Amino acid sequence: MSESNMGGFATLDWAILAGYFLIIVVTGVIFTKRQRSTDDYFLANRSIPMFAAAISFLATSLSAATFVGGPQQSYSGDLTYLSSNIGSIIAIIIVAVFFIPALYKQRVATVYGLLENRFGRPSSLSASGAFMIGRVFASGARLYIAALPASLILYGDIAIRHQLVAIALLTVVGIAYTYVGGIRTVIWTDVIQAVIFIGAALIAVVILYNRIPLDFSGIIEALRNPGDGAASKLTLFKLGTEGFSPKHSFTLFTAIFGFSLLSLGAYGTDQDMTQRLMTCENAVKGSRSAIIGVLVGLPVTTLFMFLGLLLYIFYSRPELMGIAAPAYEIEGSRKVFLSFILKELPPGVTGLMMTGLFAAGLSSLNSAINAMSSSFVNDLYKHFRPNKSEIHYLKIGRKAVLVFGIVLGLFAVSSVFWQEARPETTLINFALMVMVFAYSGLVGVFLSALFTKRGSNVSVISALLTGFLAVLIMQTWFNTDLAFPWQMFIATSLSFVVCQLGTTKSITGDH
């Protein structure tokens, strides 16, 4: 079978996929009846159970980039991506100890309310704007990744025009149930979707493991010695000269100095993530849900990486597979997991796997749309149109969901061409690389706000611009080979220094 004629969906597969969409529609309808205010629509009246917030936090942080990009990363490389979790653990401890208690203590509706209390309204407005721009970048890239399997299902290939149709369809679905149900729908469907995509990955590992004619020790030995002088695919940390190379994204040093800041941006300064932590009853439960979400994410990410290693043996080591080796070749590592799903799995299982992938993609899309709408209404609109009724703000919030959903779809379209121009960049790298643009400035500002007494509205705005422009220069104008975690470290450091130039005292005196 040629790559352009990949096996399509059977009737049972379509039935499973249809059942999934029916479930999320019903969930949205159920929670629609409970909405009376923006606090309910965006924060669920702080009534979400800790376990649900933790699972939603996990589902949002993983996304389709992990589902498709994780296997690609280990298939074409090794396990060094897992070392970045050192930075995630460092970051979540800081968020749980300092960020979340401050959010609950000051009773802010978004994380950017902290900056308003610390510096003034211009700072919160600027940070909220930076978040929305950055979230368009990050979630638009994830939407593009989720559209790849949709294109394969519908057309059997990932031609650009077919990717664009897939993006449009996913955008419509994502907007629909986010518009109807608000954050309650997003969180509870996240719980369902997390079970689906983690369960799908487990099934894929079991099936793939049973297809490989080696026992576990044989698989480990094959991965440890790939042949042709290649390094072990079980490498977790890059050491020696490679560990110090500024070109490598996943090393012990980038984990400590780069990924800790990148994760701090994701968990502590991004309304998309912090919004979940603010839906719990109190700060203690919010902090615990964050820590649980990150810790559970470690074995889940490892699961997807192990899946990529098994795919490497299945597709790239025919001498080990013998007669079980597939009779076709994979063109490009982006399609390796998708090829296995569509070509090797029986009807029903294929549908379940693709449902898991859509669950991962829609989880990040819906949460991003709701978070941007929340930030727009609470940080921007209410300040320019105060003293309106809650029903009025609720209607504006829903209209914002429509607008931001369309904007994300448009950026996903641009990501198609962006990625085509960088074919050597893995999907994981691409998804993380675009996040650096907004996070560098936001992290520099929040570190100044929470841990120093310096900063002003002018220096905050300047710091946000500095972070964005520094990354832009490093990624485009100079076409530098500097790995994106180091770009994050440099841009955040510059942003922090610029923010420290301001001397206005805190408005509340609480930091």
Domain ranges across the chain: 3-428
Asked whether 346 and 207 are in contact (CB, 8 A), the reply is no
Q: What is the pLDDT of residue 406?
A: 93
What number is the average pLDDT over the span 179-191? 78
The first and second tokens of residue 479, run together, are 């076409």
> If you average pLDDT over each of 137-141, 217-221, 332-336, which comes out highest?
217-221
Q: What is the pLDDT of residue 260?
A: 95
Q: What is the pLDDT of residue 287?
A: 93
Query: How far apart are alpha carbons 293 and 57 in whole angstroms?
Result: 6
Q: Between residues 479 and 41, which one has the greater pLDDT?
A: 41
The pTM is what? 0.84
* pLDDT class of 464 with cuts at 50, 70, 90: very high
The first and second tokens of residue 245, run together, are 């190379």
pLDDT above 80 for 64: no
In 3D space, the residue among 156, 63, 37, 154 whose CA is nearest the CA of residue 361 turns out to be 63
Give the lowest-confidence range in 89-103, 166-180, 461-475. Answer: 166-180
- The chain-wide mean pLDDT, for the chain, equals 84
Q: Between residues 153 and 52, which one has the greater pLDDT?
A: 52
Asked whether 501 and 459 are in contact (CB, 8 A), the reply is yes
In 3D space, the residue among 377, 379, 370 whose CA is nearest the CA of residue 395 turns out to be 377
Cα-Cα-Cα-Cα dihedral sign, residues 78, 81, 86, 89: negative
Question: Distance between alpha carbon 78 and the CA centroid of its chain, in Å?
Answer: 21
Quick one: CA torsion of 412, 415, 417, 421, rounded to 10 degrees?
-170
Cα distances from 106 to residues 188, 291, 294, in angstroms, run: 26, 21, 25
Asked whether 476 and 418 are in contact (CB, 8 A), the reply is no
Q: Is 45 left (phi over 0), alpha (psi -120 to 50) or beta?
A: left
pLDDT above 50 for 203: yes
pLDDT above 70 for 508: no
- The count of C-alpha atoms lying within 13 angstroms of the C-alpha of 177, restricted to the half-sphere facing its C-beta, is 27
Q: What is the pLDDT of residue 490?
A: 95
pLDDT above 70 for 510: no
- DSSP letter at 213 equals S
Give the lowest-confidence range in 43-52, 290-299, 481-490. Answer: 43-52
Q: What is the tens place of the pLDDT at every residue in 285-318?
A: 999 999 999 999 899 999 999 999 999 999 988 8
Query: How far apart are alpha carbons 174 and 168 in whole angstroms?
Result: 10
pLDDT above 50 for 5: no
* pLDDT class of 375 with cuts at 50, 70, 90: confident
In 3D space, the residue among 143, 141, 120, 139 whose CA is nearest the CA of residue 131 turns out to be 139
CB contact set of 398 (below 8 Å; sequence gap of 6+):
41, 179, 373
* pLDDT class of 4 with cuts at 50, 70, 90: very low
Q: What is the pLDDT of residue 507?
A: 44
* pLDDT class of 213 with cuts at 50, 70, 90: very high
The first and second tokens of residue 441, run together, are 């400035």
pLDDT above 80 for 498: yes
DSSP string, 406-474: HHHHHHHHHHHHHHHH-TTS-HHHHHHHHHHHHHHHHHHHHHHHHH-S---HHHHHHHHHHHHHHHHII
What number is the average pLDDT over the span 461-467? 95
Q: What is the pLDDT of residue 90?
A: 95
Asked whether 504 and 457 are in contact (CB, 8 A), the reply is yes
The CATH class that applies to domain 3-428 reads: mainly alpha
pLDDT above 80 for 60: no
Q: What is the pLDDT of residue 365?
A: 79
The first and second tokens of residue 32, run together, are 């629609």
The first and second tokens of residue 29, run together, are 């309808």
Long-range contacts made by residues 152-155, C-beta under 8 angstroms, separation at least 24? 152/6, 152/335, 152/338, 152/342, 153/8, 153/9, 153/342, 153/354
pLDDT above 80 for 44: no
Give the lowest-confidence range in 20-24, 385-389, 494-498. Answer: 20-24
Q: Between residues 149 and 426, which one has the greater pLDDT?
A: 149
Long-range contacts made by residues 474-481, C-beta under 8 angstroms, separation at least 24? 475/433, 481/246, 481/247
Q: What is the tens place of the pLDDT at every residue in 377-390?
A: 888 888 888 888 88
Instruction: Give percent above pLDDT 90 in the chain.
Output: 33
Residue 333 identity (one-letter amino acid): S
Cα distances from 100 to residues 92, 229, 278, 415, 510, in angstroms, run: 10, 48, 8, 33, 14
Give the lowest-confidence range in 126-130, 450-454, 467-471, 502-506. Answer: 502-506
